[in-house]
Amino acid sequence: MTSPLPSGEMLPQPVLNPPASVAVFLVATIEPGGEGAAREALGSVAGLVRSVGFPSPDGGLGCVAGVGSRAWSRLFGGRRPAELHPFRELAGPRHHAPSTPGDLFFHIRAARTDLCFALAAELLRRLRGAVTVRDETQAFSYFDSRNLLGFVDGTENPVGQAAADAALVGDEDPGFRGGSYALVQKYLHDVDAWDALAVEAQEKVIGRTKLTNLELDAPGSHKDINTVLGPDGAELRILRSAMPFGRPGHGEFGTYFVAYARTPGIPETMLRTMFLGGPGSGPDPLLDYSRAVTGSLFFVPSAGFLDDLPGS
């Protein structure tokens, strides 16, 4: 099942962009009557990125916009992405993945804080009164692509054509080719408990060495649990875009997790094993130190879809 990099109207939003130094993640719900402003804001994203980003070509400003299941029909009526549904809560004996409200998702990234800030501010100015912002997270890259647990994050992400195959909808849903599903969760870490572990114990939780980032043979580790094979034996892949965030003065240390996927079924399978456990694996030991506080699923339509929005 290949998906050649789409062109023309099915050109993706910048889903495949490499991780940036800074990101702002916005999740909002649309107020009754706010649909018109929400449509206008979605239609204006590409132009706003050009306006804010063009004077700073080295800033690498980009923005991915997504729409939640309940909002889709309110905004566009008509046909829906085949697999768009609300985030499915997972409640296990030890771990809980909540499903939290989200109609609009903006993933803004750049090399500079000011560019992300300026774009977020302008988008939200246009949405004032039309939406309630449910979450606003300012995230950053930390040392050499590490998370706040001190481990390198993102190593096994697919790149190039493999990233497009993992993240972008292809001919299986022709009206939404070039789109992507964004599964979004905000995690808070118990860094005191984590730091109390010996480095060797931390490495067994993650499945990699901490300093040198080498793979370990660590059954039951986070890495092991998330190496998922399909019926044909090929690895099922997602494109992760996780970024650290935090406010040390508030005791807040977290990871903002985004999985871009061609089908939401793949990250959902991973989540079920992580939170509930599966035959012979899980739950994920990482969750003893990481608590999910939000969970939403969005569809990120192609850039062409946003340029020419269908009627509601």
Active site amino acids: 153
Report residue 255: phi and psi, to 5°: -125, 125
| Residue from the set 182, 271, 297, 300 that interacts with ligand HEM by CB under 6 A | 271
**Residue 263 has which token pair?**
């089908």
| Residue from the set 138, 141, 147, 180 that interacts with ligand HEM by CB under 6 A | 147
- Given a contact cutoff of 8 angstroms between Cβ atoms, the answer to whether 131 and 28 are in contact is yes
| Residue from the set 72, 76, 187, 253 that interacts with ligand HEM by CB under 6 A | 187
Least distance from C-beta 112 to ligand HEM, angstroms? 25
Instruction: By CB under 6 A, tell whether 92 contacts ligand HEM.
Output: no
Report residue 275: phi and psi, to 5°: -90, -35
Instruction: By CB under 6 A, tell whether 259 contacts ligand HEM.
Output: yes
Helix 35-53 and helix 69-76, axial crossing angle in degrees, nearest 10: 100
- Given a contact cutoff of 8 angstroms between Cβ atoms, the answer to whether 95 and 275 are in contact is yes
**Amino acid making up residue 203:** E
Binding part of the chain for ligand HEM, among 9-17, 77-85, 164-172, 218-226 by CB under 6 A, reads: 218-226
Task: Give the contact letters, 221-240, x = binds to ligand HEM (CB under 6 A), - = no.
Answer: -xx--xx----------x-x
Instruction: By CB under 6 A, tell whether 290 contacts ligand HEM.
Output: yes
Pairing assessment for the beta strands 290-292 and 131-140 based on DSSP bridges: unpaired
What DSSP character marks residue 93?
A: S
Instruction: By CB under 6 A, tell whether 156 contacts ligand HEM.
Output: yes
Task: Select 69 or 185, whichever has its Cβ closest to ligand HEM.
Answer: 185
Least distance from C-beta 270 to ligand HEM, angstroms? 4
**Residue 229 has which token pair?**
């094979």
- Given a contact cutoff of 8 angstroms between Cβ atoms, the answer to whether 227 and 163 are in contact is no
Instruction: By CB under 6 A, tell whether 220 contacts ligand HEM.
Output: no
User: 166: phi > 0 → left, psi -120 to 50 → alpha, else beta; which?
Assistant: alpha
Which residues here bind ligand HEM, judged by CB under 6 A? 147, 149, 151, 153-156, 185, 187, 206, 208, 222-223, 226-227, 238, 240, 242, 255, 257, 259, 267, 270-271, 286, 290
